[in-house]
Amino acid sequence: MKLWEKKGSDINTQIEKFTVGRDPEFDMILAKYDVQGSMAHAKMLESVNMLSTDEARSIQKELENIESDIKNGLFRIETGVEDIHSQIELNLTRKIGEAGKKIHSGRSRNDQIAVDIKLFLRAEILKINAEVKELFDLLISLSHQYRNDLLPGYTHLQIAMPSSFGLWFGAYAESLIDDLEILAAAYQVVNKNPLGSGAGYGSSFPLNRKMTTELLGFNSLHYNVVYAQMSRGKTEKLVSYGLASIAATLSRLAMDCCLYMNQNFGFISFPDELTTGSSIMPHKKNPDVFELIRAKSNRIQSIPNELSLLMNNLPSGYHRDMQLTKEILFPSIEDLKSCIEMTVLMLSHIRIKKDILLDDKYKYLFSVEAVNELVNKGIPFREAYKTIGNQIQSGNFSYDQSKPLKHSHEGSLGNLNLSEIGSEMEKVLSKFL
């Protein structure tokens, strides 16, 4: 069954296979959201006297049955049925007769799929938001726990200045705040209702679009019906920027962990059951999890570009190109959630090496501390820099590492500002309400 099918209009099977593509796979993901949209639409049609009370009641009851079947894994898209919209309408008609055919009044598949995607993305963003918060809380906890454990800091991958595990964990916690800022901006666009825009040019029926907006829990609606359709693809791209930003943080953290697990660094380790081995080298404990987090996260960062290339240069109105946004974006959402989950798992079992900086190879890490000590005694910075530089060059530099590091300004070794970072996260989280 096809919603556009007319007598004698059979389509070539090769064309049908090509145009349908992977849609059934992704339509099943959207099934429950299509039911939700249909429930709201039916209530609205009743309110404008396009459905009788009895018709609306029977539609509502059967949609609830379909929703239950979806939840229990009993729903499927039958062979020969074009899409999720067709299947739900077919099931309705089989159960309640002619009233089921009225559900499409004032709708097009264009606005049906648009609202389905909005509802799906809204739910997924909130799931990702919660998972990022879990990772954030873990990073803040680790930053507290290891705030006094020193770590060599690097610039250009060369030994630079003293850092700490507290600073390292806290840096990635704060990075997630900015990532969620981008996702929160996308969420505001997702949380607008396109239902009622029809094929993109509205309807001569007296639809109540504000009612469906309230019923579906959207913050507002896309008012202009042409733009409601133009938001398709744009919405997905904006969400992908939020996903890509989180992925960039995860990728960089994963790369740090790969380096720090390396024996030439040896800063961190993990239980054997969280690493993998080699088929010929019995000593190996490979960071496969972090390598895959890095790879998957890097691939997620390509999604905005893929969507841009797909949607670029399209004129206003609906185009079948938009069908492909689902197969680009939806798998990346699952990949990102799995990467966050695995990052939490790994970091929950991280082991920190103590007293790293006692190794002689890190003695020059304290050269800036030595310069600053001379400056505090009244020596101009350039003169102090030259003095310590000459000591290093001549091999006479030494520094007492037992002396406490006096870093007290905001965000430094001695003042991590973790409570302030936590407050900033709470501000961002409030944007998802």
Question: In the chain, where are the structural domains located?
Answer: 13-105, 110-358+411-432, 360-394
The pLDDT value recorded for residue 190 is: 98
Only one residue has tokens 């505090």, namely: 376
pLDDT the model gives residue 120: 98
Superfamily of domain 110-358+411-432: Fumarase/aspartase (Central domain) (1.20.200.10)
| Average pLDDT value for residue range 85-103 | 93
Mean pLDDT computed over 338-342: 98
Of the listed ranges 152-161, 231-240, 271-280, 398-407, the least confidently predicted one is 271-280
Averaged over 137-145, what is the pLDDT? 98
- Each residue of 312-334: pLDDT tens digit? 989 998 998 999 999 999 999 99
The answer to whether 260 and 267 are in contact (CB under 8 A) is: yes
- Token duo for residue 118: 């909005």
Evaluate if residue 428 carries a pLDDT over 80. yes
Q: Phi/psi of residue 10, each to 5°?
A: -55, 135
Strands 158-164 and 351-352: unpaired
- Give me the half-sphere count of Cα atoms (radius 13 Å) on the Cβ side of residue 242: 28
User: With contact defined as beta carbons under 8 Å apart, do 163 and 236 qualify?
Assistant: no
Measured CA to CA, the distance from residue 346 to residue 257 in angstroms comes to: 10
Helix (H, G, I), strand (E, B), or coil: what is residue 220?
strand
Confidence of residue 10 (pLDDT cuts 50, 70, 90): low
Given a cut of 50, whether residue 4 has pLDDT beyond it is: no
pLDDT in tens, 37-63: 999 999 999 999 999 999 999 999 999
Identify the band that residue 368 occupies on the pLDDT scale cut at 50, 70 and 90: very high
**In the chain, pLDDT over 70 holds for what percent of residues?**
97
- Report pLDDT for 23: 76
Per DSSP bridges, beta strands 268-269 and 192-193 are unpaired
Residue 333 CA to residue 201 CA, distance in Å, equals 31
Mean pLDDT, all residues of the chain: 93
The mean pLDDT value for 72-93 works out to: 90
CA-nearest of 110, 92, 109, 112 to 101 is 92
Output the pLDDT for position 415. Answer: 93
Q: What is the rounded CA–CA span in Å between residue 356 and residue 124?
A: 41
Query: For the residues 93-118, what does the mean pLDDT come to?
Result: 94
Res. 147 pLDDT band, cuts 50 70 90: very high
Angle at CA of residue 203, ends 219 and 45, nearest 5°: 65
Residue 365: pLDDT above 80?
Answer: yes
HEC states along the chain?
Answer: CCCCCCCCCCCCHHHHHHHHCCHHHHHHHHHHHHHHHHHHHHHHHHHCCCCCHHHHHHHHHHHHHHHHHHHCCCCCCCCCCCCHHHHHHHHHHHHHHHHHHHHHCCCCHHHHHHHHHHHHHHHHHHHHHHHHHHHHHHHHHHHHHCCCCEEEEEECCEEEEEEEHHHHHHHHHHHHHHHHHHHHHHHHHHCEECCCCCCCCCCCCCCCHHHHHHHCCCCEECCCHHHHHHHHHHHHHHHHHHHHHHHHHHHHHHHHHHHHHCCCCCCEECCHHHCECCCCCCCCCECHHHHHHHHHHHHHCCHHHHHHHHHCCCCCCCCHHHHHHHHHHHHHHHHHHHHHHHHHHHHCCCEECCCHHHCHHHHHHHHHHHHHHHHHCCCCHHHHHHHHHHHHHHCCCCCCCCCCCCCCCCCECCECCHHHHHHHHHHHHHHHC
Report the alpha-carbon distance of residue 420 to residue 193 in Å, rounded.
Answer: 36
Mean pLDDT of 19-44: 90
Q: Is the pLDDT of residue 272 over 80?
A: yes
- Give me 341's structure tokens: 């989950």
Domains 13-105 and 110-358+411-432 share a fold: no
Residue 290 reports pLDDT greater than 80: yes
pLDDT at 5: 57
CATH code 1.10.275.10 for 13-105: yes
In whole angstroms, give the CA distance from residue 32 to residue 343.
30
State yes or no: pLDDT of 6 exceeds 60: no
pLDDT of 11 > 90? The answer is no
pLDDT over 90 for what percent of the chain? 83
CA atoms within 13 Å, Cβ hemisphere of 167: 20
Q: Are 340 and 131 in contact (CB under 8 A)?
A: yes
Give the side-chain half-sphere CA count within 13 A for 142: 24
End-to-end CA distance of the chain: 40
Return the pLDDT at 9: 59
3-class DSSP state of 268: strand
pLDDT at 8: 56
